[in-house]
Copies of this chain bind each other. A is one copy, B any other.
Amino acid sequence: MSNAQLTHLESLQAFLTARIAPARALGVTVAATDPVTISAPLEGNLNDKGTGFAGSLFSVAALAGWALITRWCAAADIDAEVALQSSKVRFLAPARGEFRAIAHELPDKQREKLARMLTRSGRGRAEVVVDVTCNEALVMSFTGAYAVTAIPREEMAPEEILPGE
């Protein structure tokens, strides 16, 4: 699948379900794309305390950051691989229901820098802030640094190139 297909909610959902095995196992859903919002139900993500498991909260946050950058690349017509490099997280309150990771848009300066780096060297880096909320309360804050590597079009399999490209 080309990144170009990931701008819409349904295609992003289909991609997560098809290509990221834990997204299926944990019941992850793309709730919105503006802002990018990834949710998961409490059931299936319960810990020993009857609240959302830390690893599941991290997972939805990491996916939200990944989806934000991947969609930005798609909108800029860049096929790219996006991978989490490092992250800092704080767990602020227990999640006692469905939880949602909402990715903050990249500041203009960071977006311009990423575009410049990708044009110059095919590689870039961006830091994404994600809030995980439950019933309107902030339960986790996440900052993730993502590495972005442009994929030259000739490296793509023919079936991955969209008609008309």
Interface on A for B, CB 8 Å cutoff? 15, 19-22, 25-26, 43-49, 53-56, 58-60, 62-63, 81, 83-91, 94
Given A45-B22, A48-B20, A81-B49, A59 and B56 contact (CB-CB distance below 8 Å): yes
Given A86-B90, A91-B85, A44 and B58 contact (CB-CB distance below 8 Å): no
**Closest beta carbon of chain B to A26's beta carbon, Å:** 6
Write the chain B residue with the least CB distance to A86.
B90
User: A77 vs B27: C-alpha distance in the bound complex, in angstroms?
Assistant: 37
Write the chain B residue with the least CB distance to A15.
B48
Given A25-B44, A44-B25, A58-B59, A20 and B53 contact (CB-CB distance below 8 Å): yes
Find chain B residues with CB under 8 A from A91 CB: 83-86
**Closest beta carbon of chain B to A68's beta carbon, Å:** 15
Find chain B residues with CB under 8 A from A94 CB: 83
